[in-house]
A and B are shown apart, each in its own frame.
Chain A
Amino acid sequence: MFRNVAELVEKAESQGISIAEVMIRQEMEFGELSREAVVARMERNLDVMEQAVDKGLAGVHSLSGLTGGDAVLMQQYIAKGNTLSGPFILDAVSKAVATNEVNAAMGMICATPTAGSAGVVPGTLFAVRETLKPTREQMVNFLFTAGAFGFVIANNASVSGAAGGCQAEVGSATGMAAAALVELAGGTPEQSAHGMAIALKNLLGLVCDPVAGLVEVPCVKRNAMGAAVAMVAADMSLAGIKSRIPADEVIEAMYRIGQGMPSALRETARGGLAATPTGKKLAEQIFGEKQ
């Protein structure tokens, strides 16, 4: 069993296999399952992700009314043809938003690694599907690669906003997506690790400050930005740019920052955006009286 990114990369390189393959073999061993069973379970997750993206792109709204409809707006904007960031990144953005809008509406999603951060990985995957044209097997492998890096982060730091802030949720998801994008685009395991490190480094310190305690503001737009960062970090790594700080040390830094964060900024809705005048007013409007 690999315990950190260095071991994960070493396993893949010494055996001449992909990160996804390392993860699949470990899962077979851990669960005493056949390859077919492990792959089939991930295929179900992929199906749920695709359905959530489709549902969000068709337009959903949360009960509170705080979020919804933005995935549609972004698609309409892309269709006009003259965007600043370019259609690929914005497509990932819209699909990440779509997933989180469905989540906020209490629809069905696949936690990746959590529900609040469920948009980043599928957002980037379904966006590059148009350009990289992966087979279904490659799409499933994308999720195993993302999962392998998430596995390391969860075991050495945290993927919980309450424990480590949003850096542990959207930050982890962004690192996972970047690593998987690199592999899907033909990068090496080492390049995946650099992509993960570059992405996560740039979301360190991100606080969890949900307005009214809802997984809506700023969560949905943070997934959008996570998807954009993941795409850029993957491109940087594929260009040969390296993270000066190794991935495992970035994860360790994330853990320590999370521990040092005041509880007001760890999913208690008592600090950050939740504590702004508008944030408080929205909470009162939604729940009738002061919580």
Chain B
Amino acid sequence: MKYNSVFDIIGPIMVGPSSSHTAGAAIIGRLARSVFGREPKRADIHLYGSFAETYRGHATDVAIVGGLLDFDTNDERIPNSLQLAKEAGLIVEFHKEEAVPEHPNTTKIRLEDERGSLEVIGVSIGGGKVEITELNGFKLRLNGMYPAILVLHNDRYGVISGVTNILTHHHVNIGHMEVSRKEKGQMALMVIEVDQNLEDAILDEIRKLDHVTQVTRMSP
């Protein structure tokens, strides 16, 4: 089931004009910002399919940037987000792509600052529901409904149980978990959806594990 809640159908409360092209786009931008974990200095926004064909009419560009500025779907600053980004020193560039995506409402967002970069692919599946389908080249499926932690690590035995042991120790229940790697023995990513927001101390404990390179928290 793609939709679990009646409020996915009656809702969200949002600034018009399109739930998939405006609200969904804003949510993808905000999720990307949340995973990046800080205010980006530069954003390259690639638009595919229906997003590429109609982004100006639907204010998709404006909405994604609003999300990058951490605005919610019903934030009345969204219509002015391009100007607000400029004032905040965020450089934004849009790229209209010809490639035909799997889902018509697809965007690839690359964020960067002096400390690093992040690439996220998000799709807006309708009615304000979204999915993050790729993160730094890792395939995944994340809908932003639950708190999640993303653990980038080297593909070695014991790392996964190390992380889950820490969660067990702190009585954190795992709702959904995905593990993927680009190549055997190389870099791997754990996506763990949990039932509650995690404290910094738990994240720090995970960071200290051998072979863990990066730990990020995502809050809905």
A235 within 8 A of B: no
Q: Which residues of B contact A45 (CB under 8 A)?
A: 7, 10-11, 13
Instruction: Name the contact of A110 in the complex, choosing from B6, B13, B22, B50 (C-beta under 8 A).
Output: B13
Question: In the bound complex, do residue A41 and residue B7 qualify as a contact, i.e. CB atoms below 8 Å apart?
Answer: yes
Instruction: Name the contact of A162 in the complex, choosing from B9, B74, B78, B104 (C-beta under 8 A).
Output: B104
Q: Which residues of B contact A143 (CB under 8 A)?
A: 10
For chain B, residues 1 to 55, give those with C-beta under 8 angstroms from any C-beta of chain A.
Answer: 1-23, 49-50, 53-55
Q: Which residues of A contact B79 (CB under 8 A)?
A: 106
Chain B nearest CB: distance from A87 CB in Å? 27
Please tell me which stretch of A73-81, A88-96, A265-273 contacts chain B, meaning at least 4 of its Cβ atoms lie within 8 angstroms of it.
Answer: A265-273
B126 within 8 A of A: yes
Report A95-130 CB contacts with B as 1/0, cut-off 8 Å: 000000011111111111111101001000000000
B128 within 8 A of A: yes
Chain B CB count within 10 A is highest, among A45, A48, A267, A268, for: A267
Instruction: Name the contact of A215 in the complex, choosing from B10, B58, B126, B128 (C-beta under 8 A).
Output: B58
Question: In the bound complex, do residue A111 and residue B128 qualify as a contact, i.e. CB atoms below 8 Å apart?
Answer: yes
Q: Which residues of A contact B12 (CB under 8 A)?
A: 110-111
Q: Which residues of B contact A286 (CB under 8 A)?
A: 57
Question: In the bound complex, do residue B17 and residue A216 qualify as a contact, i.e. CB atoms below 8 Å apart?
Answer: yes
Report B53-70 CB contacts with A as 1/0, cut-off 8 Å: 111111100000000000
Question: In the bound complex, do residue A115 and residue B57 qualify as a contact, i.e. CB atoms below 8 Å apart?
Answer: no
Question: In the bound complex, do residue A158 and residue B17 qualify as a contact, i.e. CB atoms below 8 Å apart?
Answer: no
Chain A nearest CB: distance from B25 CB in Å? 11
Chain B nearest CB: distance from A275 CB in Å? 12
Chain B CB count within 10 A is highest, among A45, A176, A270, for: A45
Chain B nearest CB: distance from A227 CB in Å? 16
Question: In the bound complex, do residue A116 and residue B9 qualify as a contact, i.e. CB atoms below 8 Å apart?
Answer: no
Chain A nearest CB: distance from B81 CB in Å? 11
For chain B, residues 115 to 136, give those with C-beta under 8 angstroms from any C-beta of chain A.
Answer: 124-128
- Please report the C-alpha to C-alpha distance between residue A213 and residue B56 in the assembled complex, in whole angstroms: 7
Chain A CB count within 10 A is highest, among B20, B55, B104, B128, for: B20
- Please report the C-alpha to C-alpha distance between residue A143 and residue B59 in the assembled complex, in whole angstroms: 28
With A23-B6, A31-B5, A267-B104 known as contacts, the answer to whether A160 contacts B17 (CB < 8 A) is no
Question: In the bound complex, do residue B20 and residue A1 qualify as a contact, i.e. CB atoms below 8 Å apart?
Answer: no
For chain B, residues 64 to 98, give those with C-beta under 8 angstroms from any C-beta of chain A.
Answer: 74, 76, 78-79
Number of interface residues of B (CB under 8 A): 44
Instruction: Name the contact of A114 in the complex, choosing from B1, B2, B4, B18 (C-beta under 8 A).
Output: B18
Chain A nearest CB: distance from B19 CB in Å? 4
B103 within 8 A of A: yes
Q: Which residues of B contact A109 (CB under 8 A)?
A: 13-14, 16
- Please report the C-alpha to C-alpha distance between residue A154 and residue B11 in the assembled complex, in whole angstroms: 13
Instruction: Name the contact of B15 in the complex, choosing from A1, A106, A176 (C-beta under 8 A).
Output: A106
Q: Which residues of B contact A163 (CB under 8 A)?
A: 103-104, 125-126
Question: In the bound complex, do residue A215 and residue B57 qualify as a contact, i.e. CB atoms below 8 Å apart?
Answer: yes
Question: In the bound complex, do residue B59 and residue A106 qualify as a contact, i.e. CB atoms below 8 Å apart?
Answer: yes
Question: In the bound complex, do residue A162 and residue B50 qualify as a contact, i.e. CB atoms below 8 Å apart?
Answer: yes
Question: In the bound complex, do residue A151 and residue B6 qualify as a contact, i.e. CB atoms below 8 Å apart?
Answer: yes
Report A197-227 CB contacts with B as 1/0, cut-off 8 Å: 0000000000000101111100000000000
Instruction: Name the contact of B126 in the complex, choosing from A30, A106, A158 (C-beta under 8 A).
Output: A158
Question: In the bound complex, do residue B1 and residue A266 qualify as a contact, i.e. CB atoms below 8 Å apart?
Answer: no
Chain B nearest CB: distance from A101 CB in Å? 10
Instruction: Name the contact of A267 in the complex, choosing from B14, B54, B125 (C-beta under 8 A).
Output: B54
Q: Which residues of B contact A243 (CB under 8 A)?
A: none
Question: In the bound complex, do residue B14 and residue A115 qualify as a contact, i.e. CB atoms below 8 Å apart?
Answer: yes
Question: In the bound complex, do residue A215 and residue B15 qualify as a contact, i.e. CB atoms below 8 Å apart?
Answer: no
* 17 CB < 8 A contacts A-B: A23-B6, A30-B5, A31-B5, A106-B79, A107-B16, A108-B15, A108-B76, A111-B13, A147-B10, A154-B126, A160-B20, A160-B125, A163-B104, A212-B57, A215-B18, A269-B54, A270-B53
Chain A residues within CB distance 8 Å of chain B: 1, 3, 23, 26-27, 30-31, 41-42, 44-45, 48, 102-116, 118, 121, 143-144, 146-148, 150-151, 154-155, 158-163, 168, 176, 210, 212-216, 263, 266-270, 286-287, 291
Chain B residues within CB distance 8 Å of chain A: 1-23, 49-50, 53-59, 74, 76, 78-79, 103-105, 124-128
Given contacts A144-B10, A160-B20, 18 further A-B contacts (CB under 8 A): A26-B6, A30-B5, A42-B10, A104-B17, A108-B13, A109-B16, A110-B13, A111-B23, A114-B19, A146-B10, A148-B6, A150-B10, A159-B127, A160-B125, A216-B17, A263-B49, A267-B54, A267-B104
